[in-house]
Amino acid sequence: MRKKERLLKNPKPYTLLENASVGLLLAGALSTVIISELLNTLNPVVWLPLGSFALSFLFILLLELILLGLVNRFSFAVMGSVLLVSLLSIVNHVKQYFRGDPLFAGDLVMAGDVDKVMGDLRYTPGIRVWVAALVFLLTLGIASRSRRRVQGLAKRLVMSSAALLLLSALIVGMIWSPKVRQEWLGIQDYAWNALANTSHNGFLVPFLRSAQDLVPGKKPDIPVPDSEYLVPALTGSDQPYDLDPAHDNKPNVICVMSESFSDFERINGLRASEPIMPFYRHLQQSDNTIDGSLLVSIFGGNTSNTEFEFLTGSSMHFVNDGLFPFKSWFQERTHGLVDLFNQQGYRSVGIHPFWSDYYERTRVYRQLGFEKYIALEQFPDEAERVHGYVSDRAHVEQIIRTFEEKGPDERLFLFTITMQNHFPYDRAHEELATLPYRIRLPDMTQAESAELFLSLLRVSDDALRDLVGYFEKVDEPTLIVLFGDHLPGLSESLRPFYEQLNGKTFAQLDLMETRQMYETPFMIWANYPLPEDNIDITSPNFLSATVADLADARLSPYYEFIKGLTKEFRAISNKILVLGDGTTIDRDHIPEELAYELSRYRRYHVDNIIRSAD
């Protein structure tokens, strides 16, 4: 008895093993991993490969030890870690439920804007959520019964500091190291499919891996002689390169980025009860049309990232998952498509029928050079609503009003983003009753949400007919560019549709099948003959150079460089690249002979977009 009292008064490291406190920490870490994976619905089997489990478990255990040193209660250390990780896991679960993709560290910067798109969403918890809640409550209940502490401030500080050091080593030396993850721990990375990473490796390891992308990258040391410096420095109204402002024969340029615009009929022969986009198909046969597929870097959301690529000519290939260039940069004037047209006498206007501060577009559009930005606040109150948003038809009416407001001697560059077909699609039954179309998928079950989305596309097709019909009668040459920002997300309501369409889960898709999920349609139409260009696939950065070229704009050296890249690359996204010969590769298998050109491209990306990072 005296020995026990003496050990309690003067605890040694080995005495901790003689009580339940260490067991509490181990059990708390284990239950937290279980909670995390129960809420990670991309992981169908809950358990993890040994390497991913070990990293997740060690991360939570070290987090508990850090908290223990700070709060000096085993119970608070366990409860604090399970609360923190569970909160992140809940956010990950909700994002997967409504969008289908996992949570990235960079997503947290959008937390303040979530309420703008989450207002009327409906959520129904599944059995895994209830099991996770039960494990969570049991963990809190058991942990709360412990009253044990660590004796001695010095010991606590040493323990907390050592745990913090080990946690940093775990993240930087193992989770952030591809060689350690793959060769030592057997954790396979899926460079082309973020959903597969979270499906096979769990939530915590890919999430912590994405935190690496928040660390500012070092400016690449690529020698570029002054004679090759391509990005003009913008200072006020200066014109840093010689462009002919004459525009007597220049066309108006109207670019429409259509929300979730997709062509599912090209994937595995999707059969619908009626045509989904009949007017779009009609335009594809026109001599005045160039069309193809657009390889984008996003799936299910984050519209501004496709917008960023198109308006700047840069690429998300240099910006990792979960990051938003509009939120991070654009503190200075930035050269891009808007500036290119501005300096050739165009009047530039941006339109988006959503809140003006979303993705900080008001600031970004000013730095890009838009003279006017028409957001939701400027749309008339009586503008038609479809699916809870300003309809595409009302959007076309705003485009026409903006065109008619310009002077007869002005040329217009207009960039506009639609909202009508934005998620959610879970209220299919009640919404379909309000639409003029009800497209059915006779070969599929549990496809009502997909039928709602396709019926909305049919309404958009009518709006496209109105837009083209108006400009067919306009005397001024006008170029219209239409493209989608991303496919609709793999939400809980659309998951059955995607799995039946592909015959497998998203996480099981190979490189080429994944590529299809990141391809949206694009079309360029003019009310005058266009050259017979055949563009089977491109990406938003290259599409912007193509648009400038077709509009007979004088290209800046920067856009000449981007245009020149199309000899080596047909399309570039943040995960997938299509080479000049049509070969599709992921970002981890770029041929050495092409890496230098991408490095130069990244140098110009940094100089133009992230100048303040020097």
Q: How far is CA 489 from CA 293, 403, 518, in A?
A: 18, 33, 11
- Reply yes or no on whether the pLDDT at 53 is more than 90: yes
Q: What is the pLDDT of residue 245?
A: 52
Count of C-beta atoms within a 10 Å radius of residue 385? 13
Comparison of pLDDT for 605 and 61, the residue scoring more: 61
**Closest Cα to residue 385, out of 361, 426, 425, 418?**
418
Q: How confident is the model at residue 611 (pLDDT cuts 50, 70, 90)?
A: low
Rounded to whole angstroms, what are the CA distances from 535 to 31, 251, 280, 289, 292? 52, 21, 17, 11, 6
Q: How far apart are CA 609 and CA 73, in angstroms?
A: 48
For 313-418, where are the alpha helices, taking DSSP H only? 325-328, 337-342, 361-368, 392-405
Q: Is the pLDDT of residue 391 over 70?
A: yes
Among 297, 14, 177, residue whose Cα is nearest residue 187: 177
Residue that the structure tokens 């923190």 belong to:
84
- The identity of residue 265, as a single letter, is E
pLDDT digits (tens, 9 = 90+) for 321-365: 777 899 888 988 899 999 999 998 999 999 999 999 888 999 999
DSSP structure string for 252-283: EEEEEEETT---GGGSTT---SS-SSHHHHHH
Tell the residue number behind the tokens 């800046």, with chain if given: 556
Q: What is the pLDDT of residues 68-88, one digit of tens each?
A: 999 988 999 999 999 999 999
- pLDDT of res. 117: 58
Residue 96: name the closest of 133, 61, 129, 134 by CA.
Answer: 129
Reference 87, options 70, 64, 103, 68; nearest CA is 103
Cα-Cα-Cα-Cα torsion 610, 611, 612, 614, nearest 10 degrees, comes to: 110
- Omega into 232 within 30° of 0, i.e. cis? no
Written as six digits, the tokens of 539 are 């990406």
The residues that bridge with 257 in the sheet, in sequence order, are 417, 483
Q: For residue 614, what pLDDT is reported?
A: 41
Q: How far is the C-alpha of 490 from the C-alpha of 300, rounded, in Å?
A: 7
Handedness of CA 387, 389, 391, 392 (dihedral sign): negative
pLDDT at 533: 81
How many Cβ atoms are within 10 Å of 64's Cβ, its own excluded? 26
Whole-angstrom distance, CA of residue 444 vs CA of residue 272:
10
Q: How far apart are CA 388 and CA 461, in angstroms?
A: 18
pLDDT tens sequence across 210-235 = 888 776 554 444 444 444 445 554 43
- What share of the chain in percent tops pLDDT 70? 88
The DSSP bridge pattern shows strands 389-390 and 385-386 to be: antiparallel
Ranges 97-111, 112-126, 222-236, 584-598, most confident: 584-598
What does the alpha-carbon distance between residue 304 and residue 308 come to, in Å, rounded to a whole number?
A: 6
Place of tokens 């950065």: 541
Give dist(CA 300, CA 204) in Å, integer. 21
Partners of 484 in the beta sheet? Answer: 258
Residue whose entry in the numeric block shows the structure tokens 């999430």: 207
Whether 17 has a pLDDT exceeding 50, the answer reads no
**Which position has the higher pLDDT, 590 or 154?**
590
Q: How confident is the model at residue 116 (pLDDT cuts 50, 70, 90)?
A: low
3-class DSSP assignment, residue 294? strand
Residue 448: partners with Cβ closer than 8 Å, 6 or more residues away:
428, 429, 432
pLDDT of residue 608: 84
What's the pLDDT score for residue 146? 83
CA dihedral 386, 387, 390, 393 (to 10 degrees): -40
Q: Across the chain, what does the average pLDDT equal?
A: 88
Average pLDDT over residues 394-402: 97
Cis peptide before 424 (omega within 30 of 0): yes
Closest CA to 513 of 269, 201, 268, 191: 268
User: pLDDT (tens digit, 9 = 90+) per residue, 416-441?
Assistant: 999 999 988 988 888 999 999 999 99
Looking at residue 20, what is its pLDDT? Answer: 63
408: CB partners within 8 A, 6+ apart: none
Give the three-state DSSP class for 274. coil
Eight-class DSSP state of 529: -
pTM, entire model: 0.85
For the stretch 158-214, pLDDT in tens is 888 999 999 999 999 999 998 899 888 889 888 778 888 899 999 999 999 988 877
- Amino acid identity, position 416: T
Strand order across the beta sheet in which 519-526 lies: 372-375, 346-352, 411-417, 252-258, 478-484, 519-526, 289-295, 537-538
Answer yes or no: is pLDDT of 560 > 80: yes
Q: Which residues pair with 373 in a beta bridge?
A: 350
Using an 8 Å Cβ cutoff, are 86 and 74 in contact? no
Chain-centroid distance of CA 121 in Å reads 20
CA nearest 74: which of 82, 84, 64? Answer: 64
Do the Cβ atoms of 281 and 272 come closer than 8 Å? no
* More confident site: 195 or 5: 195
Q: How many CB atoms lie within 10 A of CB 210?
A: 21
CA distance 123 to 91: 13
Q: Is 172 in contact with 179 (CB distance < 8 Å)?
A: no
Q: Where are the beta strands (DSSP E) in 358-459?
A: 372-375, 385-386, 389-390, 411-417
When pLDDT is cut at 50, 70 and 90, the band that residue 111 belongs to is low
Indicate whether 2 pLDDT > 80: no
Residue 537: helix, strand or coil by DSSP?
A: strand
The DSSP element (H or E) to which 596 belongs, if any, is: helix 592-609
Report yes or no: 541 and 220 within 8 Å, Cβ to Cβ. Answer: no
